[in-house]
Structure 1
Amino acid sequence: MMYFTQALSGKRQFYSVSLNSDYFTKEEFKSLDKKFKLLLTIGFIAFIIITLISIYIFKAYLASSIIPILGFCIYQFIIFVYIHNKVKTKKKDLSLEINDLELQRTKIILDTDFINEKNRIIKKYSILFLAPLIVNILVSIYLSTQYNSLPDIIPTHWGFSGQPDAFSQKSFFSVFGIVLMSIGIGIIIYTSSVNSLKSRAKLSYVNINESKKAHLNYLSKIAFTFFILN
């Protein structure tokens, strides 16, 4: 999914940066797209190797299901932000010399009602996005109080039937590892979700009211999608 992130983006979005379609054909942006895919592929292969080493050499079965997954999530988040910033810088540089591009002029309109409504949606879902993190933190606190009373062998995985199908010796890592992984991934998703909602909106001044309504509707739906993901 991350590899095809650009293909799944809007026609005017390039790694979460608003661009005119004329920019997409420029070699600078094609090169950044290839660089992202290359870095992502290298990281994916590296974390597969780490997983296999954890399983077959160190026999760290539980660690192999937690550390590489969390590590790869953090890694792909970092390289996405890296490419995103590169695209913004390149856009700024090219905007100074756009003689060869035929770009549509855009009016800038400051609408406080629209901004307030947008901020209301962002604030509402920013609070809702915290719910999974709070649940994980509460689970972690509860586990801390019950740690000494846990048996020496504990279940670490459950099948579709709800019955445990994998077990491990009780240790700090086996008890808290999965919870900490969930918190780590939750922080990544929370950060990317909130920042995505805060991105600037481009409205059509031909029919400004309909454009504002459409954007707020889109913002609400994408925010709800992020909430389900969280």
Structure 2
Amino acid sequence: MNSTLALIINIPTLFLIYILTYFTQALSGKRQFYGISLNSDYFNKYEFKNLDKKYKLFTTIGFIISLILELISIYIFKAYVTSSVLPMLSFCLYNFFVYINIHNKVKALKSKLSINLYDLDLEKTKVILDTDFIQEKNRIVKKYSLIFTIPLIISTLVGIYVLANYNSIPDTIPTHWGPNGNADAFSDKSFIKILAIIGMMIGLGVAIYISSISSLKTRAKLSIDSIDNSKK
């Protein structure tokens, strides 16, 4: 693999990850704000808009740092395989902690605002407990918990198998395959590189599992005026 090929492969991939993380909120449910169940009226409040801006700012900063790390790995250290793993893994882990931080701040802000009588709708005193809806939601959570756990287990087992058989891996290994299916880039075997790839697979699996299941577990608020539409 040369610098041009590494650049063509890694930069678009890193940029795609950045776009997906940057628009995390836009891809969430219409009543979800960074993993917290929230009335849409709150979305326009200054405090929540400010948290959204902070998340996007820190995400952009992380992307720029990862991009610089990518270019340094390619052009200075000539570490083409490392450039395919380290910057993306670092960005994903960094963004995961940024998301958790914003999630906790949204949760704390919601609790703070909920004690303000101005924000409470005192006329809505009727409480609806839809047990069928709760049971269906729990069933969905269990289903997707299993779905997201399977690839995580497979990645972990594959990683353990590869590390256990590290000595049997050839000294030169292929790192990229062309359109015809033939290997066109090679790299020397390195325990650190293999460990980084395994760590990236498992790390991404854990991040996807936590964010997805946490979103499914958030409480849903039903409207007494339109219960069926509230469940959608």
**TM-score, reference length from structure 2:** 0.80
Report sequence identity in percent: 61
Aligned pairs for 1:47-196 (under 5 A) are 47-99=66-118, 105=124, 107-196=126-215
Q: Which runs of 5+ in 2 are unaligned?
A: 1-19
Local SS of the residue matching 1:117: helix
* 5+ residue gaps, structure 1: 219-230
Does structure 1 retain, via aligned residues, the 8 Å contact 2:36–2:107?
yes
Matched, 1:14 2:33: yes
Deviations 1:92-149 (A, max 9, x none): 2122224277687364333444323322221122122111112212222332343222
Cα distance between partner residues in 1 of 2:111 and 2:216: 22
Output the CA distance in 1 between the equivalents of 2:37 and 2:57.
23
Match of 1:30 among 30, 35, 49: 49
Number of paired residues?
Answer: 213
Contact kept in structure 1, 2:81 and 2:193, CA below 8 Å: yes
Kept after mapping to 1: 8 A contact 2:35/2:214: no
Structure 2 counterpart of 1:174, one-letter code: K
Deviations 1:18-58 (A, max 9, x none): 33333233221221111111111111111111111222222
Which residue is equivalent to 1:227? none
Structure 1 contact 20–103 (Cα < 8 Å) conserved = no
2:21 and 2:40 map into 1 onto residues whose CA distance is 21
**Which structure would you say has the larger RCO, counting Cα contacts within 8 Å and 6 or more residues apart?**
2
Q: CA RMSD in A?
A: 2.5
Alignment partners' CA distance in 2, 1:76 and 1:171: 27
| 8 A contact 2:152–2:205 mirrored in 1 | yes
Distance 1:134 1:14, change over 3 A: closer
Shift of residue 189, structure 1, vs aligned partner: 0.7
Matched-pair contact (CA < 8 Å) for 2:173–2:187: yes
8 Å CA contact 2:174–2:184 kept in 1: the answer is yes
Give TM-score scaled by structure 1 length: 0.80
Matched with 2:64 is 45
